[in-house]
Amino acid sequence: MFCWKSQTMASPSKVVLLACGSYNPVTNMHLRMFEIARDALNKTGRYQVISGIMSPVSDGYKKKDLLPAKHRCEMLKLALRTSDWIKLDQWECSLSSWTQTAHVLRHFRQQLEQQQQQHHGEIFNHVKPSPSKRRKKQQHNIVADLPENQLPSLEDHNENFVPSVKLLCGADLLESFAVPGLWDDEDIEYIVGSHGLVVITRSGSDPQKFIYESDILTKYQENILIVTEWIFNDISSTKVRRALRRGDSVKYLLQDSVIDYIKKHQLYGIPDNKYFNKMMPSPSQDTITTNHLEKDVSFKGGGNLINEVAALEDISSNPSSGEISVILRSAHNNSSGDSSFVSRHLPLHRMITHLDKKGSPAASSHSSPHKVERKGTPSPPVKVTTTFTKDEAPERNHKVSCISDIGTLVRRVKNVRVGFTPETRV
């Protein structure tokens, strides 16, 4: 592998770290990778990392659940506000079709070469570039997307040579080189032979063994730095998306600004109840725990949790009377004396939409929460009708009706307690 200590007294060569990925969404670990890699490279004495680039994949990648680049980039911009050396670059994701990583590396190398040539041309001619030329140069700057996150320009580095661009990745990406048909051999050779790799270890991977088993990687192993991340951190975007879908907290996994963005734009199927909680603070002392929203939803009413599992059949509202009907298919008898209920797969956002003061007709389950402008608005009384249908014995259907003010209903929604019950565990 890599020589860890400097063999010569020559000044360290400049490196730009490039990480290609989906960033769906960007996690703290994506950001940590850069810090870990920079430390490791700088410590070798052979390299000096001058900047990092995050290049989100284009929408053409068509990976399952991939959000449009617009959202992924906005989240990256927010996350990168905390870094003064890592930059978002939108060139790759602005392309309509997917681009191989080797091509992305080539693009950045060319950009740096151009930048270097321009810089030298200016020094040689001793001419200050005109404002229009300067603007053009800025556009050419590979990291011109964000003014607050400018890449250190080459002028800051009195070098005659262009910095090298190394691919920064997790060990899983390295191991994906072996997936048949995923990577061209020439691309792998170009990436490791002409650029170099910095690989951060990840749970379940063994990059050393992987390199040993690959002829191409063994041939270029001098260009591969494996960095063992001892502060074990197995955040992945997949796990974050799963947590979001289930209404679980992702705090400290993502930057707060990214979490706010996800909530604001209702991304990744995040349940609306969190919004609702924010919008309609309740005096109730019931605690809220949300886990595995997709599985079960239990409503607490009057402080008593009804231990019943039911499936939501339908929900509808009558705009003129303000009546809301929630039809549940219950697996157990409802032993409550009031209209509290327990439901499985209850789309809370639909319910919230139905609570719209204007009494707008039933909206689809994808309605935006922003349509429900409820902040601080007094609400008229709402008649709540719940219909319980016993799963095993449909003939024992019964209706529970009550008049409730919207605040009561809101509190019930707010005090949602979600969790697995044995009979619905998957």
Ligand X SMILES: Nc1ncnc2c1ncn2[C@@H]1O[C@H](COP(=O)(O)OP(=O)(O)OP(=O)(O)O)[C@@H](O)[C@H]1O
Partner in contact with 243, chosen from ligand NMN, ligand X, none, beta carbon below 5 to 8 Å by kind: none
Partner in contact with 217, chosen from ligand X, ligand NMN, none, beta carbon below 5 to 8 Å by kind: none
Residue 363 backbone phi and psi in degrees, to 5: -100, 165
In the numeric block, which tokens belong to residue 287?
């605690």
Cβ atoms of 327 and 387 within 8 Å: the answer is yes
Cβ atoms of 234 and 203 within 8 Å: the answer is yes
The 181-200 site mask, x for binding ligand X (CB under 6 A), equals -------------------x
Partner in contact with 101, chosen from ligand X, ligand NMN, none, beta carbon below 5 to 8 Å by kind: ligand NMN
Q: Report if residue 90 touches ligand NMN, rule: CB under 6 A.
A: no
Tell me the C-alpha distance between 71 and 266, whole Å: 11
Q: Report if residue 340 touches ligand X, rule: CB under 6 A.
A: no
Partner in contact with 182, chosen from ligand X, ligand NMN, none, beta carbon below 5 to 8 Å by kind: ligand NMN
Q: Report if residue 22 touches ligand X, rule: CB under 6 A.
A: yes
Q: Report if residue 187 touches ligand NMN, rule: CB under 6 A.
A: yes
Q: Report if residue 64 touches ligand NMN, rule: CB under 6 A.
A: no
Q: Taking the complex as a whole, how short is the minimal distance between the CB of residue 136 and ligand X, in angstroms? A: 32
Q: Report if residue 88 touches ligand NMN, rule: CB under 6 A.
A: no
In the numeric block, which tokens belong to residue 331?
């697996």
CB nearer ligand X, residue 143 or residue 240: 240
Applying CB under 6 A, among 16, 21, 75, 259 the residue interacting with ligand NMN is 21
Among 99, 69, 90, 82, CA closest to 35? 82
Q: Report if residue 10 touches ligand NMN, rule: CB under 6 A.
A: no
Q: Report if residue 173 touches ligand NMN, rule: CB under 6 A.
A: yes
In the numeric block, which tokens belong to residue 67?
């959000």
Amino acid at 414: K
Q: Taking the complex as a whole, how short is the minimal distance between the CB of residue 316 and ligand X, in angstroms? A: 37
Burial class of residue 379 in the structure, from the number of CB atoms within 10 Å of its CB (0-12 exposed, 13-18 middle, 19+ buried): middle
Applying CB under 6 A, among 16, 29, 105, 297 the residue interacting with ligand X is 29
CB nearer ligand X, residue 95 or residue 402: 95
Partner in contact with 19, chosen from ligand NMN, ligand X, none, beta carbon below 5 to 8 Å by kind: ligand X
CA 318 to chain centre: 38
Applying CB under 6 A, among 15, 17, 33, 312 the residue interacting with ligand X is 33
Q: Report if residue 100 touches ligand NMN, rule: CB under 6 A.
A: yes
Which residues, 233 to 272, sit near ligand X by CB under 6 A? 233-238
Q: Report if residue 20 touches ligand NMN, rule: CB under 6 A.
A: yes
In the numeric block, which tokens belong to residue 130?
């005109």
What is the helix, strand, coil percentage profile of the chain, to 5?
Answer: 40, 20, 40
Size of interface with ligand X, in residues (CB under 6 A)? 21
Residue labelled with tokens 């989240």: 75
Cβ atoms of 105 and 165 within 8 Å: the answer is yes
Cβ atoms of 62 and 80 within 8 Å: the answer is no
- C-alpha to C-alpha distances, 190 to 100, 201, 216, 406, nearest whole angstrom: 12, 22, 10, 64
Q: Taking the complex as a whole, how short is the minimal distance between the CB of residue 37 and ligand X, in angstroms? A: 10
Tell me the C-alpha distance between 161 and 171, whole Å: 30
Q: Taking the complex as a whole, how short is the minimal distance between the CB of residue 257 and ligand X, in angstroms? A: 18
* Nearest-10 Cα torsion for 370, 58, 233, 190: -170
Q: Report if residue 182 touches ligand NMN, rule: CB under 6 A.
A: yes
- C-alpha to C-alpha distances, 80 to 21, 30, 89, 146, 380, nearest whole angstrom: 15, 11, 11, 10, 45
Q: Taking the complex as a whole, how short is the minimal distance between the CB of residue 173 and ligand X, in angstroms? A: 4
Interface residues toward ligand X, by CB under 6 A = 19, 21-24, 27, 29-30, 33, 169-170, 172-173, 200, 202, 233-238
Interface residues toward ligand NMN, by CB under 6 A = 20-22, 57, 61, 63, 100-102, 173, 176, 182-183, 187
